[in-house]
Amino acid sequence: MLDILVQHRRTKAAARYFFRRLLKGIGAVPRVVVTDKLRSYRAAHREVMPSVEHRSHKGLNNRAENSHQPTRQRERAMKGFRSVGAAQRFLSAFSGISPHFRPHRHLMTAHDYRAEMTTRFAIWDQVTRVAGLSSTP
């Protein structure tokens, strides 16, 4: 997952902004860009980075969409962001913290998973205590 950007519209201007923000964030020009079939991505791609190959096929974007699933679930659970800005602030923080609590469970035994999560929660408690955010008295 390279970027999460909440937008009011999915127009050519919004797609152009997304591509520019994405390019600024990675610092290099990608070899291939994979998007969904939204036509505004194709139009913006021609303007922003015409030398990069653009693929938009039904199944190609699955990897990116699957990486967004935890975010989408969280958005559905919270339902009611008051504004796009509030949603963006939440997502920018959440995308950095979320992987800490989502180890690759399918690669671990139950014992290793429990040990790993105990360690991660201890680290989280230590970090939040240092920042003065601890919820325990």
Which pLDDT does position 55 carry in this prediction? 85
Average pLDDT, the chain: 78
Residue type, 89: R
Q: How confident is the model at residue 79 (pLDDT cuts 50, 70, 90)?
A: low
Which pLDDT does position 1 carry in this prediction? 45
State the Cα–Cα distance between residues 11 and 26, nearest whole angstrom: 23
Which residues fall within 8 angstroms of residue 124, CB to CB, at 6 or more apart?
100, 101
Please count the other Cβ atoms lying within 10 Å of the Cβ belonging to residue 38: 15
Q: Which residue's entry shows tokens 């923080």? A: 93
Q: How confident is the model at residue 57 (pLDDT cuts 50, 70, 90)?
A: confident
Which pLDDT does position 91 carry in this prediction? 77
